[in-house]
Structure 1
Amino acid sequence: MFIGDFTGDKINDLFISASIAGNGGIINNRIVKLSEKKPKIIFSEKENEGIKIQGDYLDNFRVKLYTNTNKQFEIDLSFNENTYIKNKIYDNNGKLLKQVKTWSDSFQNLKPVDYDGDGIYELVGNQSIFETSHVDKISHLNSLWKYESNKWQPKEIEYSSFLIKQPIS
């Protein structure tokens, strides 16, 4: 739980965060605006989805990703080349043999931060991008959100991918 001004009205709001057991580390977050006569949720389940991503695998160990912010980008999957060949997703030359769909989870971490030092809190969130299950993580996504015009707007979106990824033993 955290108390701070997220809307810029100089009245503190309530940020509540709780993990949901058994779902890949997803955190359920809510922000309640306390300045109204009746408390109002301004960060709900919909906002907790964060950046939604889907994608399609391409030849040469690549995946094209599409976001709900109308942005798209490609990720190099060669860090896992041997596993993809073994599982017959790609052949030895990098030709795609079967399509794999990617997806992203809701926030796995979301923290209030006064990013620009103006006394109004923004949110910094972390998400992961997967292929077939939570074990098959292909990328990380970090985003910065600000409450403007009565809704949460992504201000920065950053993704990272792996150069080397080995199973944790």
Structure 2
Amino acid sequence: MKNFFIVPFVSMDELMRYQSRYKNIREAEDDEDLRAKVVDFKQGDVNGDGVKDNVFLIADRLPGEGILYRNITLLIQDGRTLKFTRVPLENNAGYNPTLFLGRFSEGKVNQILIVIDTGGSGGTIYSYVYSFLNNEVKKLFDSDKYIEEYKYGVTYRDNFKVDVLNKTLLYKFRLDIEYKGREYLSEIYDKNGKLKEPIEGFVRPLGGLYPIDFDRDGIYELYAVQGISGRYGADGLGYVETVLKWDGKRFKLVRQNVAIFGAEYR
């Protein structure tokens, strides 16, 4: 079977120019990379030389594993020199791997956002942001480290309340869970609204990470979403929603909210 690259979301002129350079890919990359499937592709200046670069996610998909991708790898081709840089990912297996190029910091250079669905029952993701300024790879965001940095507690209280505590920043949010309904509440509370026994919930790992330009200044922030669970994973109570902004050294938490589910109004 012939090796080929899928190149979506580019103009016909860009596609023709890229196809004319395809032989350089075959000469530059080893057989392992050529056998991999291109699962996403974007173009943009990521190294700061003013020339559009080609940014790929490549991966293996083995027979019998459906839409599961393994060995997901970031591959960057310098648009000026046509040289490749291969960036292995720490969490390199999952579903629906996607790329986004955008400015998360001052300047005209794009950074690279990668999001991969883990495929777990909690609907969680792996996510990374990379800088490639001056052809140097630098990881700016790692979902695993983010989860380690911010710790949470979820505690049921009397009178149909649940406290969600950001233990790292000492923020507390109080949820009213009366909307959960009589059947649910009767399992947890007595007729006077007192807890029958202590109950602890938990905040799940990242379930979504979205680039949003909240300030409309051309620079994206990260909008991170984590589910809040009660007695078990599927017992959803709401979401922790966090806005992160690059401050020159790290993505700093600038705003955090908790959202709850609605109920039918009667």
TM-score by length of 1: 0.86
1:65 maps onto 2:164 in alignment = yes
CA distance in 2, matches of 1:148, 1:122: 11
CA distance in 2, matches of 1:7, 1:162: 34
Q: Give the CA deviation at 1:84.
A: 4.0
Q: Give the CA deviation at 1:106.
A: 2.0
CA distance in 1, matches of 2:127, 2:201: 24
CA distance in 2, matches of 1:7, 1:66: 30
Which of 108, 113, 120 aligns to 2:207? It is: 108
Question: CA contact under 8 A between 1:85 and 1:92: conserved in structure 2?
Answer: no
Aligned with 1:16: secondary structure?
A: strand
Q: Give the CA deviation at 1:57.
A: 1.2
**What amino acid sits opposite 2:189 in the alignment?**
Y
Residue 131 of structure 2 is matched in structure 1 by 33
CA distance in 2, matches of 1:19, 1:95: 39
Residue 19 of structure 1 is matched in structure 2 by 117
Whose relative contact order is higher, 1 or 2, with alpha carbons under 8 Å and at least 6 apart? Answer: 1
Q: Which moved more, 1:96-105 or 1:152-161?
A: 152-161
**What amino acid sits opposite 1:20 in the alignment?**
T
Aligned with 1:83: secondary structure?
A: helix
Q: Tell which structure's C-alpha radius of gyration is larger.
A: 2
CA distance in 2, matches of 1:63, 1:10: 45
Q: Which moved more, 1:48-57 or 1:151-160?
A: 48-57
**CA displacement, residues 77-117 of structure 1 (integer Å, 9 cap, x when unaligned):** 11225234442x21011011111112111221111122212
Aligned with 2:179: secondary structure?
A: helix
Change (3 A) 1:126 1:49: farther
- Quote the RMSD (CA, aligned, Å): 2.1
Which of 1, 5, 8 aligns to 2:106? It is: 8
1:137 maps onto 2:248 in alignment = no
Question: CA contact under 8 A between 1:54 and 1:65: conserved in structure 2?
Answer: yes
CA distance in 1, matches of 2:115, 2:107: 22
Which of 127, 137, 150 aligns to 2:249? It is: 150
Question: CA contact under 8 A between 1:84 and 1:90: conserved in structure 2?
Answer: no
1:79 maps onto 2:179 in alignment = yes
Change (3 A) 1:14 1:162: closer
Change (3 A) 1:55 1:113: same
User: Identity of aligned pairs, percent?
Assistant: 27
Which of 89, 92, 116 aligns to 2:191? It is: 92
Question: CA contact under 8 A between 2:165 and 2:172: conserved in structure 1?
Answer: yes
Question: CA contact under 8 A between 1:29 and 1:48: conserved in structure 2?
Answer: no
Unaligned runs of 5+ in 1: none
Report the number of matched residues.
164
Q: Which moved more, 1:78-87 or 1:97-106?
A: 78-87
CA distance in 1, matches of 2:211, 2:148: 16
Greater helix proportion = 2
Change (3 A) 1:19 1:49: farther
